[in-house]
Structure 1
């Protein structure tokens, strides 16, 4: 949960978490409006978030980070390895952003069984790095601030310990490349090297 005590000027504000339903509704609405155009999905999310109160934008950032951490699982990493042919820190993070950007059903199904991604994947790289910055851009629009300080969503979320870059521990059991065909057989059949 992201219950935050942050400071806007001299006034301390208690910032509650954005509930899961509201977070996923924003993601789904932007995805639907974008018709498969990721740049449009990003722009729609920024526009939607900029209409909210700054505290809600921070709540979105916190919820996003919670889901990025939740998706940090060796099976998700294995899926990315099969699809892209390699795994490294940044692409793995951007792949998890893409996964969140697909909406709640795809995200939840993938966490339960990463092989379910076979049904939503096409050839090509799956990444949505821009999702990491939508709250910051919306916050800038909403508050008029251009210099990032401790009140910005990314900084508030980091101060609350929601770090997807540092100290996060990947969940589940690690794998070797030779295990991938049996670990995720559907994805392997679709994307794996024969």
Structure 2
């Protein structure tokens, strides 16, 4: 599975189902009909894709959407959620984080208190990171030590490259209204910061 095939599967998943849970069910079923190698390659493509989104500018965009606070784990899940937006929206957001303001998924959140966001709207999709492993377990028929076998296969398939020690780019504070208005004007106008407690 190459990157184009990966994105075709994500796009088809978006066409087949609406909610994140329905998409996961569809994707798990689709991956379970493929070879173990393809399932592993799906995870490799997912890891490589989300790594592209591991930037300080996108973390700041997530901070704004979440009202000024996006944890380390929350940002990882946000990157997975961005994959679920589809290739075009993902690619655009990586190059211009403020473009997230144009996506229907982000626009739906505007004006709604974060406490009222439901699971389907929440800008995080942690479960996407486990769907390939679940399909691998079904295909291999191995329950014990499946995680170890799967992640070992993923590591063997990954290209050897330098690991990024942290997000790419320069870190900046999305809670600075002046800087946020300059770097993320649309998201800053759409999402107010939560008061410090």
**TM interval, short-chain normalised:** 0.7 to 0.9
User: Is 2:139 the partner of 1:142?
Assistant: yes
Structure 1's unaligned 5+ residue stretches are 1-17
**Match for residue 188 of structure 2?**
188
CA-based RMSD: 1.9
Contact 1:33/1:41 (<8 A) preserved: yes
- TM-superposition CA deviations, 1:10-30 (whole Å, max 9, x none): xxxxxxxx2111100111111
- 1:150 Cα offset (Å): 4.0
So what's the TM-score if we normalise by structure 2? 0.81
Contact 2:59/2:75 (<8 A) preserved: yes
**Match for residue 171 of structure 1?**
168
The count of corresponding residues between Structure 1 and Structure 2 is 172
Please give the secondary structure, in 1, of the residue aligned with 2:149.
coil
Contact 2:13/2:27 (<8 A) preserved: yes
Q: How does 1:52-91 map to 2 (within 5 A)?
A: 52-85=34-67, 86-91=69-74
Q: Which residue of the other structure, out of 72, 80, 89, is the alignment partner of 1:106? A: 89
Q: How far apart are the structure 1 equivalents of 2:164 and 2:158?
A: 10
Q: 1:40 to 1:20 in 2, by over 3 A?
A: same
Structure 2's unaligned 5+ residue stretches are 110-116
Identify the structure with bigger relative contact order (alpha carbons < 8 Å, sequence gap 6+): 2
Q: How far apart are the structure 2 equivalents of 1:110 and 1:38?
A: 20
**Match for residue 25 of structure 1?**
8
Q: How far apart are the structure 1 equivalents of 2:158 and 2:3?
A: 19
**Bigger proportion of residues as strand:** 1
